[in-house]
Amino acid sequence: MTTPVTLKSFVRLLVGGAALLGVAACEQTGALGGDWGRGGYPQAQSSEDPIMMQTNAANYRAGEPVITRLTNRTGRRVGYNLCRSRVEQRNDEGDWRPVPAAEGEVCTAELRSLSPGQSATYSFRLARSSRPGPYRIRTTLEDLRGGPRLDVVSNAFSLTRDSD
């Protein structure tokens, strides 16, 4: 079941996502996962927490689809839109920076939902001009009961050029 998103709620989602990015700007070594913590606030993933988003391979060639699976490992129903996820590349300083989406990609503003234990997949296509190196996918989950958003990142994967 999909839930239509109004312009007002979409703007709130964008503003909240921007605020979350400001808070999440610190280096993170893994995805955020598990259940929302005490008081309804997201908890950072510990080494015992399951990974919520995983790509189907560790290495890709430029232009090849990157397929990611998001699994709701929280105890709550969450809202998501994987086509609104951000692809990030690690720069020479070790910081993760967003990269432009592949040209021609179309994304709708619908918010879908996942119950605990359910999964969804999505295929990303990096631009053929993307630089080789480590990448990851970042997405935001919404607590459908009105709690805070949860920022989730995939495993890191490598992009190689055809000549590599």
Put simply, whether the predicted model's pTM sits higher than 0.85 gets the answer: no
CATH of the domain at 133: 2.60.40.1930
Higher pLDDT, 36 or 133: 133
SS (H, E, C) 76-131: CCEEECHHHCEEEEECCCCCEEECCCCCCCCCCCCEEEECCCCEEEEEEECCCCCC
Work out how many domains the chain is built from and give that number: 1
C-alpha of 131 from chain center: 20
Q: Over the stretch 8-42, which tens digit does the pLDDT of each residue have?
A: 554 454 444 443 333 332 222 223 333 333 333 34
Quick check: helix, strand or coil at residue 156? coil
Span of 10-14, 27-31, 70-74, 145-149 with lowest mean pLDDT:
27-31
Q: Over the stretch 85-129, which tens digit does the pLDDT of each residue have?
A: 999 999 999 999 999 877 667 888 899 999 999 999 999 888 878
Rounded to whole angstroms, the Cα distance separating 133 from 160 reads 7
**Any domain includes 44:** no
**Structural Rg of the chain based on CA atoms:** 16
Tokens of 164: 């590599």
Domain hosting 154: range is 2-28+52-160
